[in-house]
A = this chain, B = another copy of it.
Amino acid sequence: MFKETFQRYLSMIEQTLAQLPWEKDVLNQSMYYSLIGGGKRIRPVLALASAEAVGSNPESIVPAAIALELIHTYSLIHDDLPAMDNDDYRRGRLSNHKVFGEANAILAGDALLTYAFELLANPKLGQPERQLRVIREVALAAGKVGMVGGQVADVAAEGKSLTLLEIEEIHKAKTGALLTASARLGGILAGGTEDQLKALTSYAQALGLAFQIKDDILDVVGDSDTLGKPAGSDLRQNKATYVSLLGLEGAEYQLHAQIKEALSALQPFGEAASFLKELAYYIEQRKH
């Protein structure tokens, strides 16, 4: 069931992404190149599954859910730039600025971010008050107190030795906030209660940390081919990670603790959250 549902969500997401009005010019090509770059689509999947957990048909919120993928993609394009992480590859393909040049990469990121908000304000969603709430929450999660703030802290932390608490703060802002906003987006647009939104928040926060811990573990135990990026890069960059601070076993323990927390947050939903439950196991066990 998990695989089938995942596949159903992915089809909705990929179809809607591909059917957006992509023109033939270099800006559209550059946006599309990174958007269709084989991402895991965790954020929109989380949104659709959260809508379903509160008892709604996820189909109707797909145009809002893909906005999350646009925001995630823009952040990867900008993170890869020479002035930032200077990464030539992303998911086994050349990064955006290596294909389209730096100016176009910066602008493609800007356009993706802007387009995301256009999609969130889509009149077809037909729920002005809920949409406005979602726009505020997504903007907060993606902006200076969220993702962008986390990236600034991450760049500033380079070469410094951080404590576990400091690492967690960066992850919470850089990736956790948008993941949480993704689950809440689904819950809010589907008309979830405040209690349901709280439960989705706890779930997504734990899932976000678990995702990051697993990333750190994979960097040590994974192989480059499966990962689609060079393994061991954290170690080479002398980066403080869950593994470098807790050891492999300690990190595995923390991963498991977060997964347990994520699962316990789902209890009030019962059967309706079975996909979200499986998603947590999937993240614990993923190989890339």
B140 touches A118 (CB 8 A): yes
CB < 8 Å: which of B101, B111, B131 contacts A148? B111
Within the complex, what minimum Cβ distance (angstroms) separates A181 from chain B? Answer: 12
Which residues of A128-154 are within 8 A (CB) of B? 128-129, 131-133, 135-136, 139-140, 142-144, 148-149, 151-152
Residues of B within 8 A of A194 (CB): none
Number of interface residues of A (CB under 8 A): 47
Bound Cα distance from A136 to B128, whole angstroms:
12
Residues of B within 8 Å of A117, CB to CB, are 117, 135, 139
A54 vs chain B, min Cβ distance (A): 21
State whether the Cβ of A227 lies closer than 8 Å to any Cβ in chain B: no
Asked if A27 contacts B149 (CB within 8 A), the reply is yes
User: Is there a chain B Cβ closer than 8 Å to A156's Cβ?
Assistant: yes
Residues B144 and A115 in contact, CB atoms below 8 Å apart? yes
Q: Which residue of the partner chain, among B26, B78, B107, contacts A110 with CB atoms under 8 Å?
A: B78
State the CA gap A109–B75 with chains docked (Å).
12
Residue-wise interface mask of A (113-133) relative to B, using a CB-CB cutoff of 8 A (1 in contact, 0 not): 111011011110000110111
Please judge, given known A-B contacts A102-B83, A155-B103, whether A144 and B113 are in contact too, CB under 8 Å: no
Q: Which residues of A contact B (CB under 8 A)?
A: 23, 25-28, 31, 74, 78, 81, 83-84, 101-104, 106-107, 109-111, 113-115, 117-118, 120-123, 128-129, 131-133, 135-136, 139-140, 142-144, 148-149, 151-152, 155-156
